[in-house]
Structure 1
């Protein structure tokens, strides 16, 4: 936990602005098509739950911070992508997608309607949406944790003398 805190403290202005901007983008990208933000283009058949906005905001903050870990400060070389970075992107993306399904209208989602029908969406999918939200938050938090730990950890290999001392 300390290494993550230290990594965040070391962030410059560029990263914090990226995190803020991507949090706002995340809110709009999910809230408009799920009709949490009312527009003439999208509508909901089922009103949003009380937890939709808090879940969306928490997910957007985590996603914004996660995206900001990929922003480089001017003059700092970026590391080559590794397997851990690919996993963080995959799980972060999955968390964002789950957020969309978690806060969306259960009977407005075409995939859910095709799979379960309208009554199945209300009977089976709607009760699962809070679980999807928690899972989304866990995936985003895991991906962010991995990225922040990797920023602070020293990637210098141990010297041959250090290996012999073990």
Structure 2
């Protein structure tokens, strides 16, 4: 996939209302899930006990933490857009987040992003990006949300 290159506010603003792109697929492994469980102290069996999940879960498999799927957003976003001439970017918020479908072990996910709105707040650029995390070969997205980033251009 080729990334969209944005060099300044004016280039960014021209994309308002447009789809920005789609990332490559990323496989979510049991090892990632286990490491995330260790990092967050969330060891619920549906995530970290594949045998029990296979037997007792309605999904027939262990599933990724919803917040793990959300946490890969920066990695996937960097595949969609490269914003140049930035001193700093701040994750400002997440609005209207909905987890629609669980991500099973070894599912592949990708990010689809569109620029919902952009504004210049006295030199700080506020972007609202509509994102969805698609699951390969599945009809429903893992999640949908509007992420808000603040860009401080040089």
The TM-score with structure 2 as length reference comes to 0.30
**Higher-strand-fraction structure:** 2
**Higher-helix-fraction structure:** 1
The TM-score with structure 1 as length reference comes to 0.28
